[in-house]
Amino acid sequence: MNVFESCPIIYSILIILSISATALWLYSIFTLRIEELMPSEFTNTLRAYLSERHYEEALDYCHRENNFASQIIASGLSSRNHGSQVIMEAIQAEGRRLGNALWQRIALLNDIAVIAPMLGLLGTVLGLFFAFYDISSTAENITSIFDGLGIAVGTTVLGLIVAIMAMVFYTTLKYRVVMVLNTVENESLSIVSLIENDNNGNR
């Protein structure tokens, strides 16, 4: 309690940042999965529609499902009359747009990793400032100053702990986002290639 009361505002902010980083990491771990972004039932049903050349039904199905992959594939289906090159560009553009939202989400962890040690250092500097603000040469005051310095350094320690934790979370999620986006894009191109093959056969 003495440590917390030495700089309650900084400690409270750092605790809130650590809780937010943990909550964001857990939420992303459970949502950044292939089965969540591209359910197998969705892909199987969509392939069945495309193999039978029911393109309008496939497009309507994508709009109804409204998951991450369905939005990417729907952009390709909407451009199917403009040739395979336009279909590929539409899919890649939509994939980048949706992927940016995922990157922005996990970028919050990187921001926490940058802000936390700065807040910790600010708490320490404020502690030093107040410790030396009203200094006198008595032995008792000098002893109390060193006690205050030990407490003030605690904000920097907690800030570094929060920063390291947030950076570890960010690194693990960054790998997962790259893997998931590559898988979804490759699978989307594979599905939409059924339209491309059909278009080539009709020429």
- State whether residue 105 is helix, strand or coil: helix
pLDDT band at 2 (very low <50, low <70, confident <90, very high): low
Is residue 185 scored above 50 in pLDDT? Answer: yes
How many Cα atoms sit within 13 Å of 105 on the Cβ side? Answer: 18
Backbone angles phi, psi at 83, to 5 degrees: 100, 165
Instruction: Compute the average pLDDT of residues 38-60.
Output: 85
Question: How high is the pLDDT of residue 25?
Answer: 93
Q: What is the pLDDT of residue 105?
A: 86
Burial label for 81, CB within 10 Å (0-12, 13-18, 19+), is exposed
pLDDT at residue 5 is higher than 90: no
What percentage of residues in the chain have a pLDDT greater than 90? 20
Q: Note whether 105 and 177 are within 8 A (CB).
A: no
Instruction: Tell me the pLDDT band of 186, cut-offs 50, 70 and 90.
Output: confident
pLDDT band at 202 (very low <50, low <70, confident <90, very high): very low
Domain ranges of the chain: 2-198
Instruction: Please tell me the pTM assigned to this model.
Output: 0.75
Backbone angles phi, psi at 24, to 5 degrees: -65, -40
Q: What is the pLDDT of residues 26-35, one digit of tens each?
A: 998 888 888 8
The residue behind tokens 């006198």 is 136
